[in-house]
Amino acid sequence: MQNQPPDVPIHYQSSFDEEKASILAAVFEWHHSEHSQPLGLDSFESMVAIKNLSRVITFENAAFRRYMLNEKSAVGSTLDSHFLPHLVKTSTDSDRLILDGVMNIEIEHLCRWENGRTVTMRTFKRRLDELKSPNYAIIVISRAKEFVGSTEAEKRKSLNEVLSVLLGMDETDRTICRGYVMGDSTKEIASRVGLTTKAVENRRHKIMDLMGVQKPIDIVKLMVRLEENGLIDDQF
Is residue 21 classed as helix, strand or coil in its secondary structure? helix
Task: Report the chain (236 residues): mean pLDDT per 10 consecutive residues.
Answer: 60 93 96 91 96 95 88 86 70 92 91 71 95 96 80 56 86 91 90 94 90 85 82 71
The DSSP result for 122-159, as a single string, is: EEEEEE-GGG--TTS-EEEEEEEEEETT-SHHHHSS-H
pLDDT tens-place string over residues 35-92: 889 999 999 999 999 999 999 999 999 999 988 877 888 899 987 776 666 678 788 8
pLDDT for position 152: 47
Q: Give the separation between CA 17 and CA 15, rounded to whole angstroms.
A: 5
Cβ neighbours of residue 60 closer than 8 Å, sequence gap 6 or more: 48, 49, 50, 73, 74, 75
CATH architecture of 152-228: Orthogonal Bundle (1.10)
pLDDT for position 232: 83
pLDDT for position 203: 93
> Where exactly does CATH 1.10.10.10 map onto the chain?
152-228
CATH architecture of 16-147: 2-Layer Sandwich (3.30)
How many Cβ atoms are within 10 Å of 185's Cβ, its own excluded? 13
> Where exactly does CATH 3.30.450.20 map onto the chain?
16-147
pLDDT for position 167: 87
pLDDT for position 138: 97
C-beta separation of 134 from 180 below 8 A: no
Say how many CA atoms lie within 13 Å of 198 toward its Cβ. Answer: 0
C-beta separation of 63 from 47 below 8 A: yes
Beta bridge partners of 112: 118
Is residue 62 classed as helix, strand or coil in its secondary structure? helix
pLDDT for position 156: 47
